[in-house]
Each structure stands twice: as structure tokens, then as C-alpha cells.
């Protein structure tokens, strides 16, 4: 367990994921062994207006615990107000996003834009530490770009503000989500701080998560893309860290049954039309390593009702279990063709 402020929290954490980590996604992952999750990032300013969309993004339930909430902010008054609006006992920690690489965010000095102004970041975090009743953390990147890797300096400013933990994605803003993860800078940050450091970047498999722990000495790891269409990653990683082995990968039956449950959760929460549309990308992720699934992925992309999507999932199961040649990609060429 990791001690963040006065909380004892598990080391494998479902990452804040804009547009992904809504209540159904978190609950699905929790049912597969995720023991600590972040809700979707929200803009602190949007809490001033309390739009329906923002309130929906904040929805949670008694089983959705422990839970972290991440803010996008750059203004001290706005973040102070946002923290005052939060209900007690709902979240275990708050986090300031100083990592988002999107241009329309950084242009306003928010997200990774904060990496260029470490003093301003420190001052904002100070306000958060003062106004928040729960532990305050920050998520940074290794730096703005390859020539300005300053995570250690930023981390020390954040420490001066009194943060209870630091999350670091080992890529620069310039790299976005591609290219090599800089394990060395994560280790440097870990060695510089006396609060827990949670690492992020290419946590795509139990093996890569172990590599992150081994190479950086971090206290915890954020699971982001590794959990897309793969809620099994939590139990498999715990098993791998414990035994060095993974006994059972999910069967096609388990995968498709999970897809049906997930689809139902999406539709219950978002309504059928939106739930089905949102599930399309999950269909692609659940099936990305299944041979011959491409035509069904394309079909799923046009499904507009829950029943249509469920029907394609059943077709997927039948096609994967059938001894017939696969439909595309890996099937042998027809005789007479090259
Ligand atoms: C679709 C998507 C949405 C994301 N949204 C957020 C977010 O809202 N807040 C955040 O701090 N990071 C966000 N991230 C970054 C992840 O939390 C994580 O740091 C990053 O993907 C690196 O980890 P990975 O290489 O294991 O995926 C997002 C990443 C993806 C792919």
C-alpha cells in the first residue's frame, strides 16, 4: 500500500482518462480487481457553472472507492472555489493536472503548460493544499520538450507547496503518447522526493509494469492504455508481481461475456444511443489482438443499437470458436493466387 497523506492506497491505479474513465468504466474495472481509480478529469472552472455534463462526470457511488479526482486549473480563485464545492467523503485525493499536452489547454497555461512556470504551479498547489480537506497531488510530465526536461525541478517546487504525492508521465509534452518513456527521469524524481511517486508511461502489460517498478523505484503505477479493453490487467499484474507468472489469459468466452456486461453498463448509464456509440471504441480495443476480427470491428463501428452491438459480439464469439478459416488478414490465400 502507498501512504498518500492520511490515506493508505493500493499501488496499481486506474489513471485519469478524459472521455474514458466514467462511472461504468471504473465499476467494470473494479469488478475485475482494480482497487483505486480516478474519475475523469474536470475543469475547475466548469464547477463554477455546475453544468449537467460536469455534474454527470462527477457521479459516483458507494462502491466506487477509493476514488481520486483530477482538476485542470491555472487560477487560484477558481481552484479554491472548485475545492469548496466538492462534497466531503467522496474523494480520497485530489490531483492537479500539469501533464495534458493538448494545445488548447496548454495555450491557457493549464495542463503541461504549467511545466513552463514551476513557481506558478507551486503557488497554485499551495492554495490547493490550504483549501482542500483531502490530500493534494499533482501529475506532471518529464518536461515541455526534449530540450527542457525539468521534472526534477518541477517536482521540488511541488514538494515546497506541501503535496502528498506526485504522479509523473515519463514523456515530454512534445512526445504526447508516443516514443520512449524516460525511466531515468522518473527515478531522479523519486530520489528527490520524500512523498510517494506514482509513475506512468507504457504500463501496457504486467511485464512492463514490473519494469516500471524495477527501473524507477516508484511507489505505484498508473494503468492507462493498458486497461483499454483489458480489465484483466489488474489481476494479472498482481499475480505477475507476486509469482513472476500469469496462469490464465481470458478465453474468448470471458472476453465476449465481459463485452456484453460492459455494453450494458454503458447503455444503462449513458442511454442506449450514446452508450452504443461510446462502446464502439471499446469493441475495437477488446478485439485488437484477436485474429480475423477486423470485419467485425468495422461492422461494430456502424452499430447504433444495443441489440445490434450485442449481436456482433455474439458473432465475434462464434467466429473465434469456429474451426472455419478466419475471415481476413490471417486466412491462407486462395489457391491460384499469390
Ligand atoms: C484517451 C486518453 C485520455 C487521457 N486522459 C488523461 C487525463 O484526463 N488526465 C491525465 O492526467 N492523463 C490522461 N491521459 C494520460 C494517461 O493517464 C497516461 O499518463 C498516459 O496514457 C501514459 O500511460 P500509458 O503509456 O501507459 O498509456 C490520457 C491518455 C489517453 C490515451
Domain end among 243, 276, 311: 243
Burial of 74: CB neighbours in 10 Å, binned 0-12, 13-18, 19+: buried
Domain count, the chain: 2
Selection from 153, 154, 184 nearest residue 170 by Cα? 184
Any domain includes 334: no
The atom number, within ligand 1, closest to the CA of 97 reads 11
Q: Kindly report the three-state secondary structure assignment for every residue of the chain.
A: CEEECCEEECCEEECCCCCCCCHHHHHHHHHCCCCCEECCCEEHHHHHHCCHHHHHHCCCCCCCCCEEEEEECCCHHHHHHHHHHCCCCCCCEEEEEECCCCHHHHCCCCHHHHHHCHHHHHHHHHHHHHHCCCCEEEEEEEECCHHHECHHHHHHHHHHHCCCEEEEEEEECCCCCCCCCCHHHHHHHHHHCCCCEEEECCCCCHHHHHHHHHHHCCCEEEECHHHCCCCCHHHHHHHHHHHCCCCCCCCHHHHHHHHHHHHHHHHHHHCHHHHHHHHHHHHHHHCCCCCCCHHHHHHHCCCCCHHHHHHHHHHHHHHHHCCCCCCCCCCCCCCCCC
Same domain, 235 and 260: no
Mean pLDDT of the chain, nearest integer: 94
Q: What spacing in Å lies between the alpha carbon of 319 and ligand 1's midpoint?
A: 33
Nearest CA residue ID for atom 17, ligand 1: 15
CATH assignment at residue 98: 3.20.20.70
CATH assignment at residue 291: 1.10.1200.80
Task: Give the CA dihedral 93, 47, 75, 2, nearest 10 degrees.
Answer: 10
Phi, psi of 325 (to 5 degrees): -60, 150
Given this model, what pLDDT does residue 81 score?
Answer: 94
Q: Which residues are catalytic?
A: 100
Nearest CA residue ID for atom 27, ligand 1: 225
Structural domain containing residue 306? 252-321
Kindly report, residue by residue over 92-125, the tens digit of the pLDDT.
999 999 999 999 999 999 999 999 999 999 999 9
Q: Is the dihedral of CA 196, 107, 177, 73 positive or negative?
A: positive
Q: What spacing in Å lies between the alpha carbon of 329 and ligand 1's midpoint?
A: 30
Establish whether residue 97 lines the binding site of ligand 1, counting it when its CB lies within 6 angstroms of any ligand atom.
yes
Q: Is the dihedral of CA 199, 200, 202, 206 positive or negative?
A: positive
Q: What spacing in Å lies between the alpha carbon of 326 and ligand 1's midpoint?
A: 34
Kindly report, residue by residue over 232-262, the tens digit of the pLDDT.
999 999 999 999 999 888 999 999 999 999 9
CA 175 to chain centroid, in Å, comes to: 17
Establish whether residue 57 lines the binding site of ligand 1, counting it when its CB lies within 6 angstroms of any ligand atom.
no
pTM exceeds 0.75: yes
Same domain, 54 and 185: yes
Any domain includes 201: yes
The answer to whether 125 touches 136, Cβ cutoff 8 Å, is: yes
Q: What spacing in Å lies between the alpha carbon of 207 and ligand 1's midpoint?
A: 19
Any domain includes 337: no
Any domain includes 328: no
Any domain includes 129: yes
Q: Is the pLDDT of residue 313 over 80?
A: yes
Any domain includes 189: yes
Establish whether residue 99 lines the binding site of ligand 1, counting it when its CB lies within 6 angstroms of any ligand atom.
yes
Establish whether residue 181 lines the binding site of ligand 1, counting it when its CB lies within 6 angstroms of any ligand atom.
no
Given this model, what pLDDT does residue 94 score?
Answer: 98
Same domain, 202 and 270: no
Kindly report, residue by residue over 57-91, the tens digit of the pLDDT.
999 999 999 999 999 999 999 999 999 988 667 99
Kindly report, residue by residue over 6-18, the tens digit of the pLDDT.
999 999 999 999 9
Amino acid at each position: 500500500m502507498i501512504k498518500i497523506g492520511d490515506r493508505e492506497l493500493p499501488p496499481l491505479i486506474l489513471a485519469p482518462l478524459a472521455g474514458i474513465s466514467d462511472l461504468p468504466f471504473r465499476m467494470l474495472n473494479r469488478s475485475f480487481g482494480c482497487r483505486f481509480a480516478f474519475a475523469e478529469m474536470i475543469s475547475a472552472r466548469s464547477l463554477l457553472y455546475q453544468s449537467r455534463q460536469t455534474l454527470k462526470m462527477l457521479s459516483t457511488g458507494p462502491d466506487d472507492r477509493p476514488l481520486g479526482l483530477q482538476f485542470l486549473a491555472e487560477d487560484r480563485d477558481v481552484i479554491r472555489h472548485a475545492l469548496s464545492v466538492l462534497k466531503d467523503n467522496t474523494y480520497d485525493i485530489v490531483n492537479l493536472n500539469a501533464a495534458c499536452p493538448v494545445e488548447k489547454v496548454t495555450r491557457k497555461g493549464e495542463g503541461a503548460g504549467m511545466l513552463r512556470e514551476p513557481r506558478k504551479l507551486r503557488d497554485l498547489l499551495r492554495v490547493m493544499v490550504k483549501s482542500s480537506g483531502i490530500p493534494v497531488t499533482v501529475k506532471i510530465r518529464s518536461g515541455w520538450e526534449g530540450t527542457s526536461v525539468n521534472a526534477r525541478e518541477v517536482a521540488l517546487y511541488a514538494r515546497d507547496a506541501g503535496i502528498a504525492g506526485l504522479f509523473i508521465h515519463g514523456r515530454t509534452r512534445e512526445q504526447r503518447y508516443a516514443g520512449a518513456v524516460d525511466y531515468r527521469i522518473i527515478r531522479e524524481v523519486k530520489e528527490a522526493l520524500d512523498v510517494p511517486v506514482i509513475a506512468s508511461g507504457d504500463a501496457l502489460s504486467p511485464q512492463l509494469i514490473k519494469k516500471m517498478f524495477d527501473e524507477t523505484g516508484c511507489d505505484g503505477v498508473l494503468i492507462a492504455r493498458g486497461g483499454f479493453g483489458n480489465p484483466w490487467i489488474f489481476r494479472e499484474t498482481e499475480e505477475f508481481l507476486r509469482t513472476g507468472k500469469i496462469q490464465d489469459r481470458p478465453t474468448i468466452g470471458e472476453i465476449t461475456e465481459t463485452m456484453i456486461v460492459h455494453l450494458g453498463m454503458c447503455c444503462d448509464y449513458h442511454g442506449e444511443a450514446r452508450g452504443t456509440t461510446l462502446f464502439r471504441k471499446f469493441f475495437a480495443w477488446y478485439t485488437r489482438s484477436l485474429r480475423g476480427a477486423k470485419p467485425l470491428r468495422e461492422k461494430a463501428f456502424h452499430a447504433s443499437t444495443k441489440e445490434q452491438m450485442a449481436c456482433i459480439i455474439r458473432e465475434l464469439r462464434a467466429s473465434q470458436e469456429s474451426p472455419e478459416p478466419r475471415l481476413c488478414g490471417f486466412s491462407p490465400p486462395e489457391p491460384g493466387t499469390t
